[in-house]
Amino acid sequence: MKLWDGRFSKATDALVDDFNSSIFFDKRLYKQDIEGSIAHANMLGKQGIIKQDEAELIKKTLKEILADIEANKVEFDIAAEDIHMNVETILTSRIGDVGKKLHTGRSRNDQVALDIRMYIKEEIKTVDAMLLKLQEVLLNLAKKHTETIMPGYTHLQRAQPISLAHHLMAYFEMIKRDRDRLADTYRRTNILPLGSGAMAATTYPLDRYAVAKELGFDDVTLNSLDGVSDRDFCIELLSNFSILMMHLSRFSEEIIMWCSHEFGFVELDDAYSTGSSIMPQKKNPDVAELVRGKTGRIYGSLMALLTTMKALPLAYNKDMQEDKEPVFDAIDNVKMCIPVFAAMVNTMKVRKENMLKAAKGGFTNATDAADYLVKHGMPFRDAHEVIGKLVFYCIQNSKNLDDLTIEEFKKFSPVFEESVYKAISLEECVNKRNVIGGPSKTMMEEVIRKNEEYLKAV
C-alpha cells in the first residue's frame, strides 16, 4: 500500500513502479532525511501541532531507524518509491498511527529540497578539505623549486623562462578560486526550504526559523514556489565542479606531456602509473589521463541538469527527480579525482636538467634581449625588429642567442655591449622579473609566504 493511494482505484503497473522509483539512488540521503525529520518533529511538538510525547516517540524511533540503516539492518522497498516514503513507512510500521503524524505540515517536495541541500552542504565541506590538501602539495613543491628554471609557453611554443614554482603556483591560484566558488555556493545552499509544503506553504503554525537553527541553516526561503522548485544550487555545484575539473584537466594535460620522452620534465612514481599489456617498455600516465577524461563526465552532469530544468514551469515537477544522479555522480568522481591527483603530483620526480635544457632552447630569452636594447635607449619596436633578425640569424646558423659573439651581436646593433650576456642569462631573465606576480625567486618566496598565511586562515 502506497502512502498516497487514497485517490486511486487500481495499483500502479510494476513497470511504473520501477520507472517512478528513485530509492536506488536517493537512498544515500537517508541520514539527511532522518535528521530533517527529527528537526521537523521537534518543531511540531514545540508548536503544539502534535503532542509533545508523540514528537518524542517519533524522534526516538527515527534515531533507532538511523542506527539500523547504518548497521545494514534495513532493506528498502521499491514500492515506497523514495527514501522519504521508505523512512516514513518504516516509522509507521514501528509506532503505528503516531508515525503518520510526522508528515504534518510538509510535503515530499520541500522534504527532498531540504535533503539535497543538507547533503550538498556536507559534500562541499569534504571537497574543500581535499582541495586544501592539494594546495598544500602544490605549495610545498613550489617551495622546493623557486630556482628550477623551465620554459614558459604560449601557443605551446617556448616563450619565456620561468620557474617551476611559478608554474605550480598558477594552479594554486586556480584552486583558490575554485574554493571561493564552492564557499559562495555553500552560502546560497544554506537556506532552509522546509515549510514550503508542496508549493503553497501550509496552514499549520510552523516555526521555520527554529528548524533552520536546529539544522544549521543561515535563513529560510521566502517564497514557497521557489523553495520547492529551486535547483540553482545543484547547478552551481556542477558548474563549480566543471571549472575545477577543467583546471585539473589542464594540469593533467601538461603532466602527460611533461612525462613523455619528448619533454622529459618529470617522471611519475610507479605507484601512480600503469603499464601496457603488450609493450613491456611502457609507463603510462593513466591517473592524469583519467582525470582529464572524467572532466567530460562532469561537464555532462552539468549539461544534463541544465537541460532538465530549462523548461519546467513552477513549481515542482517529477522531472526534478533527475537532479540527484548527476549531482551524486559528479560528487563521487570529483572526490575520487582530487586525492589521487594530489598524490600523483606529490610523488612525481622533477627532472631539473631537462627543464633547464628546454628553457635554453627556443630563444626564451629573446624578449630580454629586446628589453636590453630598450634600456639602452632604443625604441621597443626597433628593438623588437633587431632581435627578430638576430633570432632568424641564429636559426640559420644553428645557434642560440647565448652562443653569439659580441661581434655578431654588434652586426645587428652597435648598442650591444658585453653586459648583454648577463642580461640574457636565464637566471637573470627570471629573477629580474621582480614584480608581484612575477617569477623571480624573491617574488615567489613572497607569494608562497602570503599563501601559507592564506592556508592557515582558511
Q: Which residues are catalytic?
A: 155, 276
Query: Residue 437 corresponds to which cell in the numbers above?
Result: 606576480
For residues 446-455, b (16+ Cβ closer than 10 Å) or e, as one string? ebbeebeeee
Distances (CA, A) of 72 to 69, 212, 361: 5, 30, 62
Q: Are 43 and 210 in contact (CB under 8 A)?
A: yes
Distances (CA, A) of 410 to 16, 364, 413, 417: 85, 20, 5, 8
How far is Cα 145 from Cα 230, in angstroms, rounded to an integer?
47
What are the two backbone dihedrals, phi and then psi, of residue 111, each rounded to the nearest 5 degrees? Answer: -70, -45
- DSSP codes of every residue in 44-70: HHHTTSS-HHHHHHHHHHHHHHHHHHH
- DSSP codes of every residue in 290-317: HHHHHHHHHHHHHHHHHHHHTTPPSS--
Triad 231, 237, 240: Cα angle to 5°: 140
243: left (phi over 0), alpha (psi -120 to 50) or beta: alpha
- Which of 157, 166, 169 lies closest to 359, judged by CA? 157
How far is Cα 402 from Cα 142, in angstroms, rounded to an integer?
28
Q: Are 194 and 160 in contact (CB under 8 A)?
A: no
How far is Cα 116 from Cα 234, in angstroms, rounded to an integer?
8
Task: Collect all residues with Cβ–Cβ distance below 8 Å to 435 and sequence separation of at least 6.
Answer: 443
Q: Which long-range contacts (CB under 8 A, 24 or more apart) does 73-77 make?
A: 76/23, 76/27, 77/23
